[in-house]
Amino acid sequence: MNRTLVVMAAGMGSRFGGLKQIEPMGPNQEFLIDYSIYDAIDAGFNKVVFIIKEENYEIFKETIGSRIEDKIKVEYAFQKMETVPEGSPILKDREKPLGTAHAIYCVKDIVKEPFCIINADDFYGREAYFEAIHFFDENKDENIYGLVGYQTAKTLSKNGSAKRGVCKLYNNNLETIIESKVEEKEGKIIAEPLDGSTPFEISGDTIVSMNMLLFYPNLFPYLEEKLRVFLERPKEKLEKDEFLIPDVLKEAMEEGVRKVKVIETTASWYGVTYKEDKEEVVTAIKEMTEKEIYPSPLWME
């Protein structure tokens, strides 16, 4: 069975210099995205699709794509305002991308197999990719999607709050995701919902979503239906509202047309929310390399 890794990288700007997605983290100048692709190949993924801005194609291909093209099939999709359902308005004046669900919609013409989405600038850990492949191997119902969930304590920054999708579960299935600003304060982990509702305390083992989601191609017609509705909003709302994948999943679950199984992982997530986080990430990768979890250099000839 073919499985594709879809990497959301459209947030990259045209100048790579100071952007965390391509900030060297490994002992041989590897980026976090390198480790994601390495782990995905090892687990059994056989294609990677990068969602990028069209104007970044050449520099992205030269910087990242070219060094993995002999190791896995590589394709590119462009997140463009013009990619909307037929007859829907095109938001020509909007500068900010439409959101994660729109990014995924932009791969509809090139992804025809089960796929896993990740963020370009996150380190998810080897175990997560093997758990994703196991889900695809075992799951027999394509109306059941997967969410690889992380223990909150293994995703926190020591340098301030971070956005996390706090998961509410029932029998290992997702009930809802509460998009929140999460931070440890005075020994307690506090989640502040982004919708302005009352903050609440969570435990270190509360499961959060880090945007590692497992889908089938039947997601695309549903996305198109919901994007069409989204684009019918008043103009002033369309200037700032985002079409987000957690919102789409919430609607699908409420309508009873999809379920989302939560696959809990004990893997540690790493990312650079703040500049001060980089040292911890570099140290963690160095230790994993010294333990020979990863080769050095990562892409050995």
Summarised one tens digit per residue, pLDDT across range 197-252 is 999 999 999 999 999 999 999 999 999 999 999 999 998 888 889 999 999 999 99
Strand ranges for the chain from DSSP E: 4-8, 47-52, 73-78, 115-119, 122-123, 144-151, 162-170, 173-185, 188-193, 200-202, 207-215, 259-265, 270-271
Confidence class of residue 22 from pLDDT cuts 50, 70 and 90?
low
Mean pLDDT of the chain: 91
**How many Å apart are CA 202 and CA 207, to the nearest integer?**
9
- How many angstroms separate the CA atoms of 219 and 278, rounded? 35
CA nearest to 7, candidates 122, 128, 119: 119
- Sorting pLDDT into bands at 50, 70 and 90, what band is 21? low
Q: How far apart (Å, rounded) are the C-alpha atoms in residues 231 and 228?
A: 5
Domains and CATH numbers, the chain: 4-290 (3.90.550.10)
Is residue 15 pLDDT above 50, yes or no?
A: no
For residue 18, the model assigns a pLDDT of 43
Question: What is the mean pLDDT of the segment spanning 85-92?
Answer: 90
**Please, which pLDDT band fits residue 14 given cuts at 50, 70 and 90?**
very low
Which of 21-35, 180-194, 227-241 has the lowest average pLDDT? 21-35
For residues 159-179, give the mean pLDDT: 92
Residue 105 has pLDDT above 80, yes or no: yes
pLDDT band at 288, cuts 50/70/90?
A: very high
**pLDDT of 16 over the 50 cut:** no
Can you tell me the mean pLDDT for 24-45? 94
